[in-house]
Structure 1
Amino acid sequence: MRNFSDAAAVQHIIEVSPSLKDIFYACRWRGKDVSCQDLFQPVLTSEGLCFTTNTMAASEIIRQENVQQDYFYLNSSIPSKNWSLKGGYNSNEEDVYPKRGRGNGADTDLRVILKEHTIDRDGLCYGVNKGYKVYLQHPADMPQSSLYYYAALPEQTSSFAVKFSVTNTSDTLENYPPKIRQCYFPKERQLKYFRTYTPNNCRLECMSEYTFDSCGCVWFHMPHKDSSSICRELKRGCVIKALERYAAEESQPDSKVDKCQCLPLCIGIQYDAEVLKTKFDIHSLLNAMKVVYPEWYQNETDGEQGMSYTMIELYYKEPRYMSMRRSELFGLTDFLANCGGLLGLFLGFSFLSLVEIFYYCTLRLGCTLRKDTRT
């Protein structure tokens, strides 16, 4: 039996996965109804096909010329506009991408209603992991699943109050090597499979190379140049062990993983969120709307039977954020100033004293020796 598969296996995963129309019921951005297909794009992760929003175009994240072309990793095509990884938004206009949230708290920025047929629930997994997993990541990151996620449970409203912290770095640190300052400036580090460097993109690339060296194949969501080197289920154990070894070696100096040097960005953003959950009973709302507006909702009864709905709201918790700045503790000027201050404090040293020392050690000594030799 073959241990490797090709793009056909990934196409089967995509075909049997729920489509965007199967999951999304309605979307709203800044108080206006919008098409969910315009907001969300499919992406391959370790858990299968997921959907992402506000992500940079795949051509801006992935080096398409270095990866296989038989199936997509990220199906996002909206290019960034009036925004850069280093400088952020360069204008106050609304016509920007990635989309910018508001900080006034007047209304949610994004509201999404998800749906599912209750008959499609699998009792083997639904009893433990219910609902949807929500991940927050930087727009330049290749969207991926991780152990840290937020749960949006069925028939509940999950309101995400997003917080973020910004880390800046002084331009004077560009003269230091990255290993000393422990970060990379944009465009300073180049990756093989990714056009945009972020620590998460670097780790994904390193895991892909490490898995291929260990198992001779990669998991279907990992970027690679050969689509015929996809690990099948028989290789799952090898992939899991390879990822465990990767995690163990990541903190060991001078290891193969440590050579990846996936340092953070010198100008980075970290996202976090607080979640408030309340009951979401859309059936009661629709029944009330049918009574008030029967001509609008006369054909909606049959379509709502056997459906479960979940609402997700997202907004910024505070209009301001905490910014940290990385800079050198002592520069050359600071070092000389401190040396001069210490010498002046403990030795009574001055530049006039330096001239006197030079005089007594050279001219005065020479004159004395010359006078002694004549006598």
Structure 2
Amino acid sequence: MKFSKTTQNVCKYFEECTDKSATDGVQYFGDTKRTACERILWLLIWIISVIVCTIFLVQTYEKWDRSPVFVTIGAGQMPIQDISFPAVTICPKTKYNRDLFTHSDVMYKSYADQVNLTESEKLELEYMMMVCKRDSKNNSRYHKYYDTNMLHFLNKVKPNVNETFRKCRFAGVEKSCDKVFTPIFTKTGVCYTFNILDHEELFTEDVPRFEDFYTTRKSVCFNQPYSKKCKNVYPKRATSSGNAAGFSVELVASAKDLDFKCVNPIQGYKIILHDPADIPTWSHDYFLLPLNMALMASVTPEVITTELDLKSYPPNKRQCYFDEEKVLTKLKHYSQSNCEAECLIQLMEHDTQCTDFYFPRTNLSDKICGMGSLEAVEFFEKRLINTILDPDDVEFFNRIDLENAKEHCNCLPSCSSVDYSTETTQSHYFWEGMTNSDNNSSYRSVLAVFFKEGQYIPLQRKEMFGAMDFIAYSGGLLGLFIGGSFMSLVELVYFLTLRIVCNIKMFGKEFWHGNKD
């Protein structure tokens, strides 16, 4: 069979390319001196090897692209002096001082004849209903919005700090409890927090301070490793493990202030341990301290850091934000819980033109969501708790703008975070034996918080493998299956371009395969 000149050139050039190729097996199926059976067999083997190698390369790339980051144990143990002692937020189930307000009396009066309630009593009852048992049904008869009078009322009737907290000690040093605790607002009303950042360092300049809430001292060496140069550090740090180096407080509840119509029968205190730069929200774990009980909380810090090399990856790939990557509008320090709080604020303002009373506001005159808005408030709270960006949540996306939700609610963890894992033990607190009193008019409890160990083992986000690692891994697969390398690729490009051009110059267009014979 006689072939055209072009076909002859292609066949001869292909034979030369395969003969000189450094890739394993290629020279066999290009050798015209061998039988067709041998050449076809080697061609099939080579094609199968290329297919298998390609599958492995694609799987490796997808794994690298999908999860380029892994979390591993850091290098050795670190002293607990390097991290802050947790902020301790205590929320009494007793919501108010009964000498200043009696919720059950006003409520019974409203049941008997609501017409006889004064406007002030009606409004104060609504205020207290916001921190007592909530009922989101049939609230159309209540006010939709409140003003700052609600905050002033809750502040006025809150339990007295020096009557509620006694014997406040940290590292064995006792201080006046009103110097140790600062009042804050949470969903359950007024709570008190130890070791939290001051208002100016917790919130942005746009958020005004309300009364003495979130008022503490300025931070010193916050988020810096332990150093002898840092004296009188704040937020406070524990120098060692154990109860003697931790925080303890005695809590007192007056029997007359217990109101079972306001809260459920489980009386006592809700305790939240959190980062000093976070505002306590529903996303934080909490535990209960019952009345007349002593509770010991041993804390194990869970510290995660991230290599700076991972900044080259987008946040969704590394699954965390560096501080400068996502700026919050009302809170200075980024964390997942702070981001979720801002998300809820933005969505509520967008839909209801108000925010819940315990959230920061740009102006104190901004509307507070009242009992009449409770159904809408709980709608967003439930959606946020159940992952607000569920693409199948048609009800939610029909109600709120998608881009707004994506912008404010993509709350990944912080690339540098500290969580406080807690183990608790408790026993009865027989305080009457210490006071020689049979007084049944009050209840006392004791809380002790301390680090379980003097060291902690940090975790670190690291790059699973970078671009060079992927190239090296790919080279290994190519070498294993077809004996290929980077030079094999250069060789292929050379035979398809430069060698043909040079052959044409040397032998003419008629013999571009490179041999006139």
Q: TM-score, normalised by structure 2?
A: 0.63
The question of whether the paired residues in 1 share the 8 Å contact of 2:250 and 2:446 is answered with yes
Q: For 1:276 and 1:61, how far apart are their aligned partners in 2?
A: 32
CA-atom RMSD in angstroms: 2.8
In structure 2, do the counterparts of structure 1 residues 234 and 370 end up closer, same or farther at CA, with 3 Å as the change threshold? closer
Q: For 2:199 and 2:244, how far apart are their aligned partners in 1?
A: 30
- Per-residue displacement from partner, 1:115-139 (whole Å, max 9, x unpaired)? 1111221233566221100001111
Match of 1:114 in 2: 251
**Length, aligned pairs only:** 356
Q: For 1:9 and 1:353, how far apart are their aligned partners in 2?
A: 76
In structure 2, do the counterparts of structure 1 residues 250 and 353 end up closer, same or farther at CA, with 3 Å as the change threshold? closer
Q: For 2:492 and 2:324, how far apart are their aligned partners in 1?
A: 52
SS of corresponding position for 1:180: helix
In structure 2, do the counterparts of structure 1 residues 271 and 221 end up closer, same or farther at CA, with 3 Å as the change threshold? same
Tell me how far 1:101 sits from its aligned partner.
1.9
Match of 1:330 in 2: 465
- Gaps (5+ residues) in structure 1? 288-300
Q: Give 1 or 2 for the bigger CA radius of gyration.
A: 2
Q: For 1:328 and 1:147, how far apart are their aligned partners in 2?
A: 29
Q: What pairs up with 1:66-215 in 2 under 5 angstroms?
A: 66-68=206-208, 71-72=210-211, 74-84=213-223, 88-92=224-228, 93=230, 95-105=232-242, 107-125=244-262, 128-145=265-282, 148-215=285-352
The question of whether the paired residues in 1 share the 8 Å contact of 2:171 and 2:245 is answered with yes
- Per-residue displacement from partner, 1:55-105 (whole Å, max 9, x unpaired)? 1111011113x2355x35942231211122xxx434255521111124433
**Larger proportion of helix:** 2
Match of 2:427 in 1: 278
Aligned AA for 1:67? V
Q: For 2:489 and 2:170, how far apart are their aligned partners in 1?
A: 72
In structure 2, do the counterparts of structure 1 residues 176 and 357 end up closer, same or farther at CA, with 3 Å as the change threshold? closer
Tell me how far 1:277 sits from its aligned partner.
0.3
Q: For 1:127 and 1:358, how far apart are their aligned partners in 2?
A: 78
- Per-residue displacement from partner, 1:287-307 (whole Å, max 9, x unpaired)? 3xxxxxxxxxxxxx69x6622
1:23 to 157, 164, 185: 164
Tell me how far 1:256 sits from its aligned partner.
4.4
Q: For 2:241 and 2:220, how far apart are their aligned partners in 1?
A: 23
In structure 2, do the counterparts of structure 1 residues 131 and 343 end up closer, same or farther at CA, with 3 Å as the change threshold? same
The question of whether the paired residues in 2 share the 8 Å contact of 1:108 and 1:314 is answered with no
In structure 2, do the counterparts of structure 1 residues 155 and 345 end up closer, same or farther at CA, with 3 Å as the change threshold? same
Q: For 1:112 and 1:157, how far apart are their aligned partners in 2?
A: 10
Q: For 1:202 and 1:355, how far apart are their aligned partners in 2?
A: 50
Q: For 1:344 and 1:6, how far apart are their aligned partners in 2?
A: 73
Match of 2:415 in 1: 266
Alignment of 1:242 with 2:380, yes or no, is yes
Match of 1:257 in 2: 405
Tell me how far 1:54 sits from its aligned partner.
0.8
The question of whether the paired residues in 2 share the 8 Å contact of 1:252 and 1:258 is answered with no
Tell me how far 1:341 sits from its aligned partner.
2.2
Aligned AA for 2:238? G
Judge which range, 341-350 or 304-313, deviates more.
Answer: 341-350
SS of corresponding position for 1:26: strand
Tell me how far 1:30 sits from its aligned partner.
1.0
Tell me how far 1:171 sits from its aligned partner.
0.8
Tell me how far 1:23 sits from its aligned partner.
0.6
Q: For 1:115 and 1:326, how far apart are their aligned partners in 2?
A: 44
Q: For 1:350 and 1:33, how far apart are their aligned partners in 2?
A: 71
Tell me how far 1:207 sits from its aligned partner.
0.8
Q: For 1:258 and 1:249, how far apart are their aligned partners in 2?
A: 12
Q: For 2:233 and 2:347, how far apart are their aligned partners in 1?
A: 37
Match of 1:295 in 2: none
The question of whether the paired residues in 1 share the 8 Å contact of 2:196 and 2:216 is answered with no
- Gaps (5+ residues) in structure 2? 1-141, 392-401
Aligned AA for 1:91? S
In structure 2, do the counterparts of structure 1 residues 130 and 309 end up closer, same or farther at CA, with 3 Å as the change threshold? same
Aligned AA for 1:223? P
1:312 to 426, 442, 447: 447
Tell me how far 1:346 sits from its aligned partner.
2.6
The question of whether the paired residues in 1 share the 8 Å contact of 2:167 and 2:177 is answered with yes
Judge which range, 232-241 or 99-108, deviates more.
Answer: 99-108
Judge which range, 258-267 or 124-133, deviates more.
Answer: 124-133
Tell me how far 1:150 sits from its aligned partner.
0.7
Aligned AA for 1:231? C
Aligned AA for 2:470? F
- Per-residue displacement from partner, 1:182-234 (whole Å, max 9, x unpaired)? 21112222111112211111111111121122222211111222424112222
Aligned AA for 2:227? S
